[in-house]
Amino acid sequence: MNTPDPSDPVTPDGVSHVFLTPADVAHLAHLSRLELTAAEVEVYVGQLSGILDSVAEVSRVATGDIVPTTHAVPLSNVYRDDVIRPGLTHAEALDQAPAQSEGRFRVPQILGEEQ
Amino acid sequence: MSEHRVGDLIRMTAADLASAIHGGQVSAVEVTQAHLDRIADVDPAIHAFLHISVDGALAAARAVDESLAAGERPASPLAGVPLALKDIVVQKGVPTTAGSKILEGWRPPYDATVTTRLLDAGVVILGKTNLDEFAMGSSTENSAYGPTRNPWDLDRIPGGSGGGSAAALAAFEAPLAIGTDTGGSIRQPAALTGTVGAKPTYGGVSRFGVIAMASSLDQVGPCARTVLDTALLHEVIAGHDPRDSTSIPQPAPQVVDAVRRGQAEDLSGLRVGVVKQLRGSGYQPGVVASFDAAVAAMTRLGAEVVEVDCPHFAYGLAAYYLIMPSEVSSNLARFDAMRYGLRLGDDGEASAEAVMTATRGRGFGAEVKRRIILGTYALSAGYYDAYYGSAQKVRTLISRDFASAFASADVLVSPSSPVTAFGLGEKVDDPMAMYLNDLATIPGSLAGIPAMSVPSGLAGDTGLPVGLQVMAPALGEAVMYRVAATFEADYIARNGGIVARSAPELDGVR
């Protein structure tokens, strides 16, 4: 993508410049499995570039020696007693399926003809 | 019917309703019916609710009445009191949409832990409230089912994402509501509607059964028109849940006692920190004036007011709009059109990937897609360190700012929202302008500390409600509620009642 330097989105003049192209947005939409219209791509190109420009300032203060915070109140090794609890019944699990067949979820084909 | 008129029942506090129900002066069914009638009257204009559970609510109320008639003790201090549940918390068999077309018609097969605790406490769930799609927004305009209107001015937004819950309170459709807060979705709507809302410490309330947005930030919390009602609800829903591994393994904080103490005492001996960075530029003059008056009131009440410096708050919004979309892009991958929810384009020929892409593209709204794409970009190889990694470091810097501020203050205060309620449609086409609404609430979200909004009055310039944000250190809910309760009691003494009592009557709004 058209960031001047991916490891440092802030250029030496201190102003961030992130430009996404329509092809970038289309690629990201594909990675996210989102069908977008051409009009949507057009709108997102401008909006996302603007947002990324604004948020790139984080790299200005985030120097190497700062430990990242992943969770506000860190907990580790969370265990619970291994107690058997009833789960959903077969019927309950299938009840909200968009499509079902022979007591199973029916899904579209995973592999196309040529695969 | 008892001596209570319907008009009185909807304007009573949850605490008073509970004592009238438990004392036999009014039945839970009468209270529930009064609120259902109010919803029928005003909700066509407000649109706070996406689903109204008439039969379920009346059955729950009847069960409370029967249990009391049988001489049993109330299941909780709120047994029989009605509540509005944000439509991102699942309730078994009741339609749950999260404000999205992708979940239209979905009926969850289980209850969230919060739902279970409410039902076990005898709280009567009236229905599900409107929200920005998957709680992404600050105006409730991102709901796929249309916006909620602010009861103070029907041409204005009620804040978001919990605009439905906040509007339900301000329109006297319910005395209690549940909200969720990722970057301010409880506090900002509370501020914009003249109601009270609390975001507990991260991990303070179980998120089992709450549809996830940004998992390192999401928190469920109580909303009401008074601080005491909010605290009573807080105690019902809070506390450890083994089914949420981020749940804090401690009992619920004793916030009701803290409120009683706050109502009885002044603020002597408490240090209140005014955050230098959370006022001034970007804040509406009427909001700043209301905030300054609130600080003056706290000074009169005996608080030692100090100014605290939190220089890294300036980077909060940027860090938030990297961390949150990154987690959104991951969490919302679960909506794949396979096991539940919407499925489009399944013509027998299309591949699973094509169906998934079509369903997500057409089932998600503009803001949701914007955030998924933004998060996918921020997590991409080559960008992760510069964006997501840097944002996580900023989060550390903000937590350090809080730690140093809390060394000189017991609570911190700021306006809850930089502006009062704005017009419908005013900011929908400008995402950055919309994101600025969360300027004051985001630092507390990133640090995971408890924070609440309590009304500080009406803005001189717009005549609309303003919220005072009270923030406390992690697990410091008691002192937060105590300060809010003292402030509210003083406000009532000076003004003859709570802010929400001045909300328009809404008679004949249909």
**Per-residue pLDDT at B7 exceeds 70:** no
- Provide mean pLDDT across the span B292-304: 98
CB of A6 closer than 8 Å to CB of B382: yes
Name the token pair of B435: 């994101």
Instruction: Label residue B5 by pLDDT band (50, 70, 90).
Output: low
3-class state of residue B414 by DSSP: strand
**Per-residue pLDDT at A8 exceeds 70:** no
**Per-residue pLDDT at A1 exceeds 60:** no
Q: Is B76 a catalytic residue?
A: no
Percent of chain B surpassing pLDDT 90: 93
Query: Among B2-16, B274-288, B381-395, whose mean pLDDT is lowest?
Result: B2-16
- pTM reported for the whole predicted model: 0.96
B79-122: pLDDT as tens digits = 999 999 999 999 999 999 999 999 999 999 999 999 999 999 99
For residue A85, list chain B residues with Cβ-Cβ distance below 8 A. none
What does the alpha-carbon distance between residue B8 and residue B3 come to, in Å, rounded to a whole number? 10
Name the token pair of A99: 């499509």
Instruction: Label residue B190 by pLDDT band (50, 70, 90).
Output: very high
Q: From the candidates B27, B53, B76, B86, give the one annotated as an active-site residue.
A: B86
For residue A49, list chain B residues with Cβ-Cβ distance below 8 A. none
Instruction: Label residue B279 by pLDDT band (50, 70, 90).
Output: confident
Nearest to A33 among B217, B360, B399 (CB): B360
**Per-residue pLDDT at A5 exceeds 60:** no
B13-63: pLDDT as tens digits = 999 999 999 999 999 999 999 999 999 999 999 999 999 999 999 999 999
- Give the gap in angstroms from C-alpha A13 to the nearest C-alpha of chain B: 17
Q: Is B369 a catalytic residue?
A: no
Burial (CB < 10 A; 0-12, 13-18, 19+), residue A65, is exposed
For residue A45, list chain B residues with Cβ-Cβ distance below 8 A. none
For residue A88, list chain B residues with Cβ-Cβ distance below 8 A. 109-110
Q: Do A25 and B373 touch (CB under 8 A)?
A: yes
Q: Do A56 and B346 touch (CB under 8 A)?
A: no
CA closest to B446 among chain A residues = A72
**Per-residue pLDDT at B3 exceeds 90:** no
B357-414: pLDDT as tens digits = 999 999 999 999 999 999 999 999 888 888 999 999 999 999 999 999 999 999 999 9
- Give the gap in angstroms from C-alpha B367 to the nearest C-alpha of chain A: 10
CB of B439 closer than 8 Å to CB of B421: no
Q: From the candidates B27, B100, B165, B185, give the one annotated as an active-site residue.
A: B185
Instruction: Label residue B283 by pLDDT band (50, 70, 90).
Output: very high
Cβ neighbour number for residue B24 with a 10 Å cutoff: 11
Cβ neighbour number for residue B306 with a 10 Å cutoff: 13
pLDDT of residue A56: 87
Q: Is B393 a catalytic residue?
A: no
Average per-residue pLDDT for chain B: 96
Q: Do B338 and A109 touch (CB under 8 A)?
A: no
